[in-house]
Amino acid sequence: MVTLPYDFDTTTPWQRIVKITVAICVALLAAIAAAAVMRSWGAVAGIAICVAILAFMVRLVARFPGLSFGARGRLTAAEIETRPVSVYGIPLRVPVGRYAISQFAGVRVVQRIIVIRPSNARSNEDIGSVQLVGRAGTPDIELLSGPVHAALGVAREIASLLGLEVERTALAGEKIVEVKLGN
């Protein structure tokens, strides 16, 4: 059950990715220093190329249009306030500001279809991301992510509390098809 005010933070997976990337960079820089101390210039050059490739890939992902790194903030009946998020001083691309609920057209559940499921998965369901859909000039804001059926329930509650409509969609280029086998 959702109650207002509702505090949310959907940036945790992205924070973890940034921390892992920083750890990899630190390890590669340490390897460059160790190779330089041993005067292994070929190793220094090879590792430096790896660092350059990693930096290029990080830059591509960070600037990918339309990619949001989640959001952190508080939802009330009248407005939503989102705050900036950074990891080790590196800012994540998240919506920041204070927006009236009237600036949103509805509540959307984006279904992320999981094709390959790990054998130790806690759930066999696809992932649903609950978002407030911004009107022109207002960003979409992700409120939570979880198993799609639970996300649909939460989306319905939030929509009811805010007086908005619920829409369900898949990621661009995907289609939602539900097939029930058996009884």
The mean of the pLDDT values for the chain is: 86
99: β partners: 80
Centroid of chain to Cα 131: 11
Instruction: Tell me the percentage of the chain whose pLDDT exceeds 90.
Output: 57
Q: What count of Cα atoms within 13 Å lies in the side-chain half-sphere of residue 105?
A: 10
Amino acid at 33: A
Better pLDDT: 116 or 164 = 164
118 pLDDT tier (thresholds 50, 70, 90): low
* pLDDT digits 0-9 by tens, 47-63: 999 999 998 988 888 77
Q: What is the mean pLDDT of residues 129-135?
A: 92
Q: What count of Cα atoms within 13 Å lies in the side-chain half-sphere of residue 84?
A: 5
- The pLDDT assigned to 35 comes to 94
CB 79 within 8 A of CB 138: no
CB 36 within 8 A of CB 44: yes
CB 166 within 8 A of CB 107: yes
Instruction: Tell me the percentage of the chain whose pLDDT exceeds 70.
Output: 84
Helices 41-62 and 12-37, packing angle to 10 deg: 160
- The pLDDT assigned to 175 comes to 57
Task: Establish whether the linkage from the previous residue to 5 is cis, with ω within 30° of 0.
Answer: yes
- The pLDDT assigned to 174 comes to 56
CATH number of 6-10+70-170: 2.30.29
Kindly give, in sequence order, each residue whose CB lies less than 8 Å from that of residue 170, ignoring residues fewer than 6 positions away.
Answer: 110, 111, 113, 176
Which range of 12-16, 24-28, 72-76 scores highest in mean pLDDT? It is: 72-76
For the ranges 1-5, 37-41, 84-88, 146-150, which has the lowest average pLDDT? 146-150
- The pLDDT assigned to 90 comes to 87
In this predicted structure, the answer to whether residue 102 has a pLDDT above a threshold of 90 is yes
- The pLDDT assigned to 123 comes to 58
Q: For the CA atoms of the chain, what is the radius of gyration?
A: 21
